[in-house]
Each structure stands twice: as structure tokens, then as C-alpha cells.
Amino acid sequence: MTPERKSGIVALIVGVLGFLYLILYSGDPLVAYLGTALFTPFLLYGIGVMFIPKSRRKKEGLLPFRGW
Amino acid sequence: MELSSIKYVIDALAYSLYAFLVGGLLLGLHRKIVARIQGRPGPPVIQYILHTIKFYFKEITFPITAGNPLYLFIALMSIMVWMSALYLGVVFNTSLLILMGLYVLQKIVEHGCGLSSGSPYGKLGGVRSVFSAAAEIPLFTVIGTIYLLTKSLIIEDIIRYQEIHGPIIFQLPFAAFAFFVLLLSKAPNSPFAIVKDKSIVSGYMTEHFGLLESLIMIADGIAWFVLLWIFIAVFIGPLLVSDPLLTLVGMVVLTFLISLLCALTPLLTPNHSVMIQIIISVLALVDLLRRIIVG
């Protein structure tokens, strides 16, 4: 697994857990709003990484060398 | 599980989406106006949003020179900063000081973005971002001047003050001008946009491409919305801010004015940009001291 996908999965887990906490335990509107601000980027990144298309390159995750 | 928590989270997400769409469209409009003034047809107004969506689905790789996890986290932090500013400012109408703190955090984002990438262009963009912190000094003095007038820094109180005494822009024109320069310095292609000067490729965003660039663009869209809203709320007040439609009209007018300035002025060199911002800061400071002494 590439480091990008690994970081995406970690971000997705953090995002989902954060949102679960907000939905289940936060009653205060300020906490809910600021929590959303905190965890939405993790979710966005995690979902975004899942959309990275499959590569047929042997070294997945590494862009082909394009010279100096 | 409380239903109210779900409602708050959905409200918060809807607010962010709205701010991003409006901010993105206004940034698209900004490009369009600049292009028309320069005699080009320019991209469609929705181009900023289209770019954001396109980059969201692009592949990323961590550059070999990048310092992880800062390289990745800084893009997420950019959204966190501006979503927090949106909620604390626009939704909860809290203190201007908190918003100023968040604005300063944006400098950390720009600096961290540039330095974590390891690219010389990114580093130069990050260093220029520190230079352009000169644009924040007027913000301090503007906040001081507003406090002297309204005796409060809570946005709700400032709006209420304007309900009784009329828009602050007529009472503190220089403070409004200094804040306007801050807005201008945040606009793309502005005379003060030394951070993203094309001579250093894309400045601090050079090595943040694909998905990460998309995340930073989402943050920039929300940032544009928040900054325009703060200007309208603090200097024009309930006249525009009480009605969302009128607020949008105010934002379009402000974007139009900024676009005119961006199209008609060349990009300043870093030293000139910083010197002009320092001159404005000094004038704003003199204005503040005069108000303190005269009363």
C-alpha cells in the first residue's frame, strides 16, 4: 500500500470517528460546529484518496521520472 | 444520540458548502472581470469550482523532498482554519479577536505549506508569506479603532451599534480602507499577492497538487466568503448583513472593486508591497493614537 493511501485510510478513520462522536455525544452547538470544522477536512481527504484511480505503473504512487 | 447534534452537524456542513460555492463563484467572477478588463474573454465564472472538483479526483504523491506529516496536515489545517472562522464569525458572531487569531493561523498554513514541501519555490512563497505579515498590522489598529468607537469587539455588538448609529464605514473611513487593503492582499493577482507570484511558480502551493490543492482551494473559497462577510458586517452592518441576498450583492460589489484594482495595477515587488503595507499600518496607527488622545 502506498503512503498516500495509508494516510487516506487513517484520515478516513479519524474523520468517521470524529463525526460519530459529534453525532452521539455533543449537545452544545458550538462544540458541534467547531468539531465539524475539525473533522470535515479528514473526511474530505480520506474520501478523496479513495478516488485516486488505479495505476498500471509498477511503482504505484510514484510519478514517472520526468527529468531534472 | 441526540437529534439536535445531527441537526447542528448538517447545518454546519450546509453552511460550509454554501460559503464555498459563493466564495468559489466570486473568485471565478474575479478572474472573469480581470480578464475582460485586459481584453480577454476569460474563463467561465464557475471555473474555480470546476477546478476544485477536477483536482479532487487527481492522483497525489508525496514528493521525495516533502516533510511529512506536515506536508499533508497543512492542507487539512487550511480548511479547519477557515471553517472555524466561518462558524465563529458568520454563524456565532463572536469576537473579532478570535477571527484575527484565525487569520494569523492562515499565515502558519502558508508558511508551513511552503516549507514542508521542500521545493525552493514553495520555500520562497513561505518566506514571502512571513514578509506580507505586514498586512496584518493594519488589522490590529483597525480592531483598536473599532473598539474605541463601539466599546466592544463582539461582532454582534458591533452590528447592533450600527443599527443605532449607522454604518461604521462613514465614521471610520480610514479603518475601512486599511481593512480593504487586507482584503486586497488576500485576492488573487492583487498588487500585494507576492506569496503566489508567478515568478516563483505558484508560491507556497507549488508542491501541493491534485487532491491537496483541491482542499486548499476549498479553504480559499470559504476564506474569500468569510473575509468579505466580515468587512460587510463590521463596516456596513445591518443595512446589508440582515438580508442574505443583500449580503451577496455587497460581496459582488466588493469583489468587483477588488477585481478592478487587481486588473489595473501591476504586481508589486516584495519590498515595495511590504513598504506600502507598512505605510498604511503607520497611518492607521496614527489614526488610532489620534482617537485615543483626542477622545
SS (HEC) of A7-51: HHHHHHHHHHHHHHHHHHHCCCHHHHHHHHHHHHHHHHHHHHHHC
Confidence at residue B34, expressed as pLDDT on a 0 to 100 scale: 92
Task: Check CB contact of B1 with chain A, cutoff 8 Å.
Answer: yes
Band (A56; pLDDT cuts 50, 70, 90): low
* Interchain contact B57–A (C-beta under 8 A): yes
Of the candidates B197, B247, B190, B231, the one whose C-alpha atom is nearest the C-alpha of residue B33 is B190
- Which pLDDT score, from 0 to 100, does residue B208 have? 82
> Half-sphere exposure (CA, 13 Å, Cβ side) for B147?
13
Q: Across all residues in chain A, what is the average pLDDT?
A: 83
Q: Would you state the cell numbers that stand for residue B263, as one nine-digit string?
A: 486588473
pLDDT at B215: 93
State the pLDDT confidence band at A62, using cuts at 50, 70 and 90. Answer: low
Q: Residue B61 to residues A6, B5, B21, B147, B221: CA-CA distances in angstroms? A: 12, 36, 27, 47, 24
A26 and B72 in contact by Cβ < 8 A?
A: no
Within a 10 A sphere around the Cβ of B219, how many other Cβ atoms? 25
* pLDDT of the residue at A55: 66
Inter-chain touch B84–A23, beta carbons under 8 Å? no
The ipTM is 0.86
CA angle B188, B28, B215 (to 5 degrees): 70
- Identify the CA nearest to B125 among candidates B113, B134, B135: B113
Q: What CA–CA distance (Å, rounded) separates B4 from A56?
A: 47
Residue A66's pLDDT is what? 59
Owner of C-alpha cell 506569496: B195
pLDDT, residue B53, reads 93
Interchain contact, A61 vs B87, CB within 8 Å? no
Residue ranges for chain B with pLDDT beneath 70: 1-2, 134-135, 295
**What nine digits make up the cell of B72?**
499533508
Q: Identify the three-state secondary structure at position B154.
A: strand
Residue A59 pLDDT: 64
Contact: B2, A30; criterion CB under 8 Å: no
Distances (CA, A) of B100 to B81, B82, B178, B242: 11, 12, 14, 23
Contact B62 A3 (CB under 8 A): yes
Does the beta-carbon distance from A29 to B214 stay under 8 Å? no
Between residues B107 and A39, the one the model is more confident about: A39
What was the pLDDT predicted at B24? 94
For chains A and B, CB pairs below 8 A equal: 102
In this predicted structure, what is the pLDDT of residue B266? 84
Query: Which of B9, B62, B76 minimises the CB distance to A36?
Result: B9
Mark which residues 5-24 of B lie under 8 Å from A by CB: 5-6, 8-9, 11-13, 16
Shortest Cα distance, chain B CAs vs residue A63, angstroms: 7
Note whether B59 contacts A53, CB cutoff 8 Å: yes
Q: Give pLDDT, residue A67.
A: 57
Rounded Cα distance, B188 and B231, in Å: 18
B258: its cell numbers: 477588488
CB atoms within 10 A of CB B131: 15
Q: Check residue B290 and give its pLDDT.
A: 86
- Please give the pLDDT value at position B81: 93
Helix (H, G, I), strand (E, B) or coil at B220: helix
Q: Where are the domains of chain B?
A: 2-294
User: Chain B residues with CB inside 8 Å of A16's CB?
Assistant: none
Query: A63 to chain B: which residues are within 8 Å by CB?
Result: 59, 61
- Residue A14: CB partners within 8 Å, gap ≥ 6? A39, A42, A46
